[in-house]
Chain A
Amino acid sequence: MQRVRWCAAPVLAAAWLTLACALSGHALACDFEPVKKEIDNVLDHDKQKAERFRREVKDGYDSMKVLNDLLPPQWRDKLDQCRFFAAEYLAKRGFPPAH
C-alpha cells in the first residue's frame, strides 16, 4: 500500500503539472465569443457606458483603451488576450482603434 502511494505521488504531480500548463496556455489563448458579448453589453445594453464610450472615442481616445476602462475588471485580461480580434470587431462597429 505504501509502495503504491509512493508511485502515485509523481503521477499525481505530473497530472497537476500537465493541468497547470494546460490552464496556463488556455489563459493566454483568446476565446473571443464571450469577449464580444461583453463588448456588445457596453455598446448596446449599458446606456451610461455606451454614452461614455462614444463620447471619449469622439474626443480622440483610443477605442480599445476606453473599452478596457469600461469593462468589468475581470474581463480586462480576456480583452487583452483577444486584443487583435476585439480591435477588428470595434473597427467593424465603426470605432476603429485607428493606427
Chain B
Amino acid sequence: MQGKLVSTAHGPTKGDNTMKRLLAASACAALMLAPLGAAHAQSVEQLVDDHKTNGDVLVYGMGYWAQRYSPLNQINKTNVRRLVPKWTYSMNDQRGAEAFPVVHNGVIYTTAHNATVALDAMTGKPIWRVAHEYPPETLRSVCCGIVNRGVALFEGKVIRQLLDNQVIALDAKTGKQLWKTASPAPATAANGYAMTGTPLIASGVAVVGIAGAEYSHRGFIEGYDVNTGRHMWRHWNVPATGEKGIESWGKPEAAGVGGGSSWVTGSYDPELDLVFWGTGNPSPWNARGRPGDNLWTNSIVALRPRTGERVWFYQATPNDPFDYDGVHQPVLATLNVQGKPTKVVMQANRNGFFYVLEAASGKLLAANAFGKVNWADGVDLQTGKPRFTSVYHDAIAGKEVAAVWPSVSGVTNWQHMSFSPKAGTAFINTLHLGMGYHATNPETYTPGKPSGPGSVKRKEVLDNPNIRGYLKAIDPLTGKSKWEVPYKSPNYSSVLSTGGDLVFTGVMTGEFEARDAATGKLLWSFQTPSGIVGQPVTWERNGKQYVTVMSGIGGVYALRAGDPNLANVPAGATIWTFGLFE
C-alpha cells in the first residue's frame, strides 16, 4: 500500500484555464507558507506545553493529560449565540468522521480512513491531501466502522496509522511520505488486526494501539522511533505461555487468542515519564472458555515510552463476559484527595464505573458508578476488584440473564470525556442501554476467527425508548452527576470544555451544541449535514477563538445498534470551523 500524493480537492483538469489558475494559486500559497516552514517543527517541549499554548492543538486530547479543556474564554456564555460557521471542507468520504483535528501554526491536519489532509485553518483551503490505499481484505477484520481518529505531529512530521496495520510519517509541509513501517507479525488482517487509532508521541516514540479483539487476536501496544519508523518494542496485553500473568488464564491456550486490544489512544505524563493506555476486552466475549481474571485485558497499563516496560496496571473488569472494552482514554489531573493535591489518572470505564487512580503508583483512590450498573454493586478499594452481583455470576455460569446493565456498548464507549480543572468536573457522553444475555456453550477459536457478537446471545433492553444516552457533568471522586441532559440516541462525539464556561459536543443527528458548563442548559446549536461522532477542539489565531469539529456519521453504534432515530441520518464527512460573527 503506497501513500499517494494527489492534487488538492479541486484537482487540475487537462488543458483548461482552471489548471493554470490552480497552479498559480498553489504557487502563491507555497510562497505565502514558505516563511512558516521553520515553524513546522513540533518539539518535545511544544508537545509538553500543548495545554498551555492556545494557538495550537498538537496532542490528541488537547495536551498530554488529555483533558480536552482550553482556558480560552473569548467565546463564552454571553456571546456563544453569535457563533457561526467560518468554513467547511468535504473529506470526500462516506464513513465515520471520528478524527481529532490537530492545529499548528495556521494549519489543520485531519484524516479519513483513506486520506490525510492539511488545510488552511483560517479558510479551509486544502494545502495538500494524501490518499491511502489498502488491500480490500483489510476490511474483513474491521469490526466497528471504517474510521481513523487522526494524526500526531512531531518535528515537522505528520504521523498516523493505517487500517492495514502500518504506521506512516508524512512531511507536514508537503505531505510527502517520509517513512512507513508495517507492524510486525502477526499483525495482519487475516490474524484479526486493524489500526484505527492515533499515535501518541512520548519521549520521541510513536506509541500506537491495535484493534481486533472481536477476531481472536492477541492485543498489544507498541512503540516506533518517530524519526525513522523503526519498530522499537511491543507490550503484549495478554501474556504468552510461561510469562508472568498467564496464571490468570485458567486455560492458558485461550490466551493465544485472548483479545486485549488497544484501539483508543492513551495519555502521557512527562514528569513521571509514563504513558497510560486502556486495554480492551478479552476474546471471545463468551467468558466460559477462558476462566480466570484474563490479565491484562480491560486494564489501564502504565508504560515507559522508550521501552514499553510496564510499571503498573489496574484491571477494571476481570474475566469480562460483557465486552466491557476498557479502552477509554485515561485523563490526568491534580485532584484534592482527602485534603491532599494528588496527581491522578481518571477513566470513565465502559463497565459503568468512574475510576480515579494515583498516577505514580496505580493505587485505586475512587471508583463509583456514573450510569446504570447492575453487574457489580461497587468496587472494593482495598483489593481493587468489583463486588460482583448475581447478574455477573449467572452470566459467567451460562444462565440466561434478563437484564444486564450496561449493555455491551457500555455506560460510555470510545468517545472522550473532558475534564475542566476550572470546574473540577468531568463532562461525558454516556449510554443508557441494557441487554438480555446468555453465554451459550463456548467454541474454540483460531487467530482471525470472529469471536465477538456471535459468541453470546443478547437482546436489547430499554427502560425508556426515548432516552438512550445522557451528557453528564460528573464529580470524578463520587461519580455523581452535577447535571445531566437526556438524548434520544447516545452521543458518540467527544466533549470539549472551555474557560468560557462552555461545553461543546456533537449529536448523532448532526447538531453541534454548546451548553452552559454549570447547568447543562443549551445555549447554541448548529445543524451539520451528517451525524457527529467527532472530537471538537478550540484554538485561537490572530487574537480570535475558533472551534473545529468533524461531522460524518459512522462507527460502531451507527452501524450496529439499529437505533431507529438514526435510520435517516445522511452520511458524508466534513470538517467545520466556527467563530464569532463579526
Contacts and interface: CB of A to CB of B under 8 A. Distances in A.
A7 B190 CA distance: 37
Given A98-B560, A98-B562, A30 B454 contact: no
Nearest to B557: A99
Given A60-B436, A87-B560, A98-B458, A28 B190 contact: yes
Interface in A6-40: 25, 28-30
A64 to B, nearest CB: 6
Contact of A60 (B142, B323, B438): B438
A83 B140 contact: yes
Contacts of A83: 139-141, 450
A30 B136 CA distance: 7
Contacts of B457: 59-62
Given A60-B438, A60-B457, A81 B137 contact: yes
B190 A84 contact: no
Given A59-B457, A62-B453, A96 B140 contact: no
B377 interface: no
Interface in A67-99: 68, 80-85, 87-88, 91, 94-99
A87 B559 contact: yes
Nearest to B562: A96
A65 interface: yes
Nearest to A59: B457
Contacts of B140: 28, 30, 80-84
B452 interface: yes
Interface string A52-66: 000000011110110
Nearest to B413: A99
B436 A96 contact: no
Contacts of B438: 60
Contacts of A68: 454
Contacts of A99: 143-144, 214, 323, 408-409, 452-453, 556, 559-561
Nearest to A28: B137
A84 B139 contact: yes
A91 B562 contact: yes
B66 interface: no
B283 to A, nearest CB: 14
B309 interface: no
A64 B454 CA distance: 7
A5 to B, nearest CB: 37
Interface in B400-420: 408-409
A67 to B, nearest CB: 10
Contacts, number: 80
B459 A60 contact: yes
A80 B446 CA distance: 14
B146 A94 contact: no
A95 B560 CA distance: 9
A68 B455 CA distance: 13
Nearest to A95: B562
A81 to B, nearest CB: 6
A65 B460 CA distance: 17
Nearest to B454: A65
Contacts of A59: 457
Nearest to A88: B559
Interface string B446-473: 0000101110011110000000000000
B453 A29 contact: no
A14 B214 CA distance: 38
Contacts of B142: 84
Contacts of A81: 137, 140
Nearest to A30: B136
A96 B559 CA distance: 8
A78 B182 CA distance: 27
A60 B143 CA distance: 19
B15 interface: no
Nearest to B139: A84
Closest 3 CB pairs of A and B: A60-B457, A65-B454, A28-B137
Interface of A: 25, 28-30, 59-62, 64-65, 68, 80-85, 87-88, 91, 94-99
Interface of B: 135-137, 139-144, 146, 190, 214, 323, 408-409, 436, 438, 450, 452-454, 457-460, 556, 559-562
30 contacts: A25-B135, A28-B140, A28-B190, A30-B136, A60-B457, A62-B453, A64-B453, A64-B454, A65-B453, A80-B140, A81-B140, A83-B139, A83-B140, A85-B139, A87-B559, A88-B559, A91-B559, A91-B560, A94-B562, A95-B562, A97-B453, A97-B454, A98-B453, A98-B560, A98-B562, A99-B144, A99-B323, A99-B452, A99-B559, A99-B560
Given A62-B454, A64-B454, A98-B560, 16 more contacts: A25-B137, A29-B135, A30-B136, A30-B139, A60-B438, A62-B453, A80-B450, A81-B140, A82-B140, A84-B146, A96-B562, A99-B143, A99-B408, A99-B452, A99-B556, A99-B560
